[in-house]
Amino acid sequence: QDMTEKELLKMELDQLKKEVKNERQMVSKTGKEIKEYIESMAGEDPLLKGVPEDKNPFKEKGGCTIS
């Protein structure tokens, strides 16, 4: 936040230099591959099928009774 404009521009230039080296692919190809991967892994996705009670780390361990 306390960076000068020159420092910000240098950071942006460094990031662009890294990104230009990335291999580009058409979305029409990669989108289909991503969709197929997601559909093939859906059976193992805990957000879709849920988490078994015995493996749920957020399950309450016990209760408290006040009498």
Q: Which domains does the chain have, with CATH numbers?
A: 3-53 (4.10.260.10)
Q: Is the entire prediction scored with pTM above 0.85?
A: no
Candidates 46, 42, 48; CA nearest to 56 is: 46
In sequence order, the 6+-apart residues with CB closer than 8 A to the CB of 48 are 42
pLDDT at 22 over 80: yes
The band of 30, judged by pLDDT with boundaries at 50, 70 and 90, is very high
The band of 50, judged by pLDDT with boundaries at 50, 70 and 90, is confident
pLDDT at 10 over 90: yes
